[in-house]
Structure 1
Amino acid sequence: MVERKTEVAKSADEASLREDEERKTFAEESDSLWLITLGPLIWILHFLVCYGLTAMVCAKLGGNADWLQILRIVIAVVTVIALVGIGVTGWRAWKQWDFLDDFDYSHGLAFEEDRHEFLGHAAFMLGIVAFIGVVYVALPALFMKTCL
């Protein structure tokens, strides 16, 4: 009878440990999913701010040269903020990818660690695309002389 209670207590402890491990894994993967979306989200917000401000300056303020100069400065500041945000996101994704630790880029079976590293890899690659996208969105501001 005592052995039976001990076995029940052990199985309850193991179930509790499994639940804690599942919660931890879910939290890590949930963070990874947010990390994947953050780079493209920054890119989208940058695009909306840059083109929205440009449309407002050109349509509502007549494209005055002084306003265009202020617009260029604002776009430069917004671009630097966006690139720093994408850089931080990319750095976190690179660390999660953990490629340099084991140089293991191919996984035969789907283990939790492999899924976690894959999400980091995907977030890192999306960060690179978002970085390039932000640069290309900001390029017209360098060459803009008038609104025409």
Structure 2
Amino acid sequence: MAEKGQLSREFAEEQSSLWRIAFAPTVWAVHFVACYATAAVACAKFPEAELAHVGVWRVAISAGTLVALALIAWIGWRAWRHWDYLDDHDYSHGRDDNESRHEFLGHAGFLLAVVSFIGVLATWLPAFLIEGCT
């Protein structure tokens, strides 16, 4: 009976890890849609003005970028702790046991957070660098 309770706890922990893996790319996707929607609204409302003169839109996009980067950094930090690499310096997860599965999910979550962080920066750059809508 005790084994069944332990299995359900391990399953619940791994299930929450799966959600953490998907959260960083989701933040990136929401940021992508929000940035391009904001730029589309700015260009529709002010078609002849340069975006540099419409500082409110750039500030809004930059603020959203900072929030997204903070969320992804927090997710990455939690995944790094979940990976527990510094404890045993084990980056290989080939064994079929709970510890390897647990560390693999942390490793995958950390790498997805890194890719998502870079993706958010790449999405933000056009709003920062492009001067106008045309």
TM-score by length of 2: 0.93
Alpha-carbon distance in 2 for matches of 1:36, 1:145: 36
Alpha-carbon distance in 1 for matches of 2:48, 2:14: 47
2:65 aligned to 52, 72, 79, which one?
79
Secondary structure of 1:64 counterpart: coil
Aligned to 1:24: 9
Instruction: Map 1:1-148; keep pairs closer than 5 Å.
Output: 15=1, 17-62=2-47, 64-65=49-50, 68-148=54-134
Q: CA RMSD in A?
A: 1.5
Paired positions, count: 133
Identity %: 44
Alpha-carbon distance in 1 for matches of 2:37, 2:58: 13
Alpha-carbon distance in 1 for matches of 2:4, 2:39: 52
Cα offsets for 1:62-111 (capped at 9, x unmatched): 35347731111001100000000000000000000000001122244210
Secondary structure of 1:28 counterpart: helix
Residues 43, 82 of structure 1: 8 Å contact kept: yes
Residues 79, 138 of structure 1: 8 Å contact kept: yes
TM-score by length of 1: 0.84
Unmatched tracts of structure 1, length 5 or more: 1-14
Kindly provide the amino acid, as one letter, of the partner of residue 101 in structure 2.
R
